Amino acid sequence: MTLPVTLPLPPKVGMVSLGCPKALVDSERILTKLRSDGYAMSADYAGADVVLVNTCGFLDSAKEESLAAIGEAIAENGRVIVTGCMGNEADVIRAKFPQVLAVTGAAQYEQVVSAVHEAAPPVPSPFVDLVPEGGLKLTPRHYSYLKISEGCNHRCKFCIIPSIRGDLVSRPANAVVREAEKLVGAGTKELLVISQDTSAYGVDIRHATSALHGRDIRAHVTDLARELGQSGAWVRLHYVYPYPHVDELIPLMAQGLILPYLDIPFQHASPTVLRAMRRPANEAKVLERIRRWRDICPDIALRSTFIVGFPGETEEDVAYLLDWLEEAQLDRVGCFKYEAVEGAAANELPGAVPEDVKQARWERFMATQARISAAKLQAKIGRTLDVIIDEVDDEGGATGRSKADAPEIDGQVHLRDAGGLKPGDIISAEIEDADDYDLFGVPTEGPR
């Protein structure tokens, strides 16, 4: 009689992932590699043989959150490996938590996996395929972040990303497209292209070509966008600096190859502040380009982030910024109060803005943008828009997003009479109402 094979139990890994979508992609890649090595995943501290904490080190408040997460993991489990952006400050982490098993920096996938192997050796098993098509995901099945490069060549005075992640390092174009194809094949309906500087993709490798399906593809953001647009998924571009060649992307949006959406981190509009930040001070030219973009693609949605309270910022600078905002009529906008970051060049600048003044300026900014956003959304009432479904409820309602809305950072479309829909469905919906940030409507047809 042949006895049944008893498979050894694999070690389990827990993951706490902090920070931006780029860090989330790092976490997904680490988990995918560990899964392929035979590890199981644990949803809680108690069941994990080792816990990974992927940290954020961009702001002091983010560092505090990371240290708190490390402390919680040590208290709840005791066997902790730290990785991510704050891993560059290993001395700080080890001084506070000497019991951590290992500390690695951002995007150091091999070092992280090696540390896990040492802490909880894998149990080989040839009987089970442990990795699903497309790898392990921390996002819903229907959308995926697609990282095309690491690092940044800019030296903005408020930012320490280059010191954490280094200069620009672009992935070969064929590797990016193949990953996208696997993701779409595994059920992804929306690809969110991310990096530190998406517009600069390929600059470091002189836009080298690579072989893909018997032909060559160039490592250039326009070529890549055109290629990804053939995937059948929504393609959304994030972190796009407004270099001149960005103009080449707008016709692709008008043709429907990629979503009519650009995420451009303007940060400010005042030439004085932009120079102090060490960013391009071409705000007037940007307004002209925005007008041209809208002429070519009237439905283009522009989102951005801004900083108020940067050292040396005056009331005149804020007035200039608010006037610029009125002129630009951006669709989606976030605003941050300037926060000093250890290691940033801005810390040496004179003219620190008091916290109460920062708060007042932030409130003025947000009130201005809320009015702009509300007016733009009111104009969509009565239109029929494509909507991708993110969540459904038990009462016949659903929540999704239009082409103008990225997950978690932009608005939503709340639908009534949406029975039978499921996450990932793309439908048409008539917009019936709007508030400052969200739309409300009803489906007009089923999934397609």
CB atoms within 10 A of CB 42: 18
**pLDDT tier at 131 (50, 70, 90 boundaries)?**
low
What are the backbone angles phi and psi of residue 145, rounded to the nearest 5°? Answer: -85, 135
Q: What is the 3-state secondary structure (H, E, C) of 128-185?
A: CCCCCCCCCCCCCCCEEEEECEECCCCCCCCCCHHHHHCCCEECCHHHHHHHHHHHHH
Q: What domains, with CATH codes, occur in the chain? A: 12-119 (3.40.50.12160), 143-378 (3.80.30.20), 384-445 (2.40.50.140)
| pLDDT tens readout for residues 39-83 | 999 989 999 999 999 998 878 888 999 999 999 999 999 999 999
Q: Which two tokens stand for residue 169?
A: 């390092």
Is 335 annotated to bind a ligand? Reply is no
How far is the CA of 287 from the CAs of 170, 210, 281, 294, 334, in angstroms? 29, 36, 12, 11, 18
How far is the CA of 393 from the CAs of 42, 311, 441, in angstroms? 27, 47, 15
| pLDDT tens readout for residues 197-251 | 999 999 999 998 888 887 889 999 999 999 999 999 999 999 999 889 999 999 9
Residues 332, 405 contacting (CB under 8 angstroms): yes
CB atoms within 10 A of CB 405: 26
What single string gives the DSSP state of each residue in 423-437? Answer: TT-EEEEEEEEE-SS
CA–CA distance, 109 with 111 (Å, rounded to integer): 6
CB atoms within 10 A of CB 370: 14
How far is the CA of 329 from the CAs of 131, 333, 410, 436, in angstroms? 45, 10, 16, 14
What pLDDT, on a 0 to 100 scale, did the predictor assign at position 442?
Answer: 97
The pTM of the full predicted model, rounded to 2 decimals, is: 0.78
What pLDDT, on a 0 to 100 scale, did the predictor assign at position 331?
Answer: 96
pLDDT at 128 over 70: no
In this structure, the chain runs to a length of 448
Least confident of 51-60, 115-124, 298-307: 115-124
CA–CA distance, 187 with 184 (Å, rounded to integer): 5
Is 56 annotated to bind a ligand? Reply is yes
DSSP state of 8: P
What pLDDT, on a 0 to 100 scale, did the predictor assign at position 130?
Answer: 53
CB atoms within 10 A of CB 397: 15
% of the chain at pLDDT higher than 70: 94
| pLDDT tens readout for residues 359-408 | 999 999 999 999 999 999 999 999 999 999 999 998 899 999 999 999 99
What single string gives the DSSP state of each residue in 173-236? Answer: HHHHHHHHHHHHHTT--EEEEE-S-GGGTTGGGTT-EEEETTEEEESSHHHHHHHHGGGSSEEE
User: What sign for the dihedral angle of Cα 266, 271, 273, 276?
Assistant: positive
What pLDDT, on a 0 to 100 scale, did the predictor assign at position 341?
Answer: 77
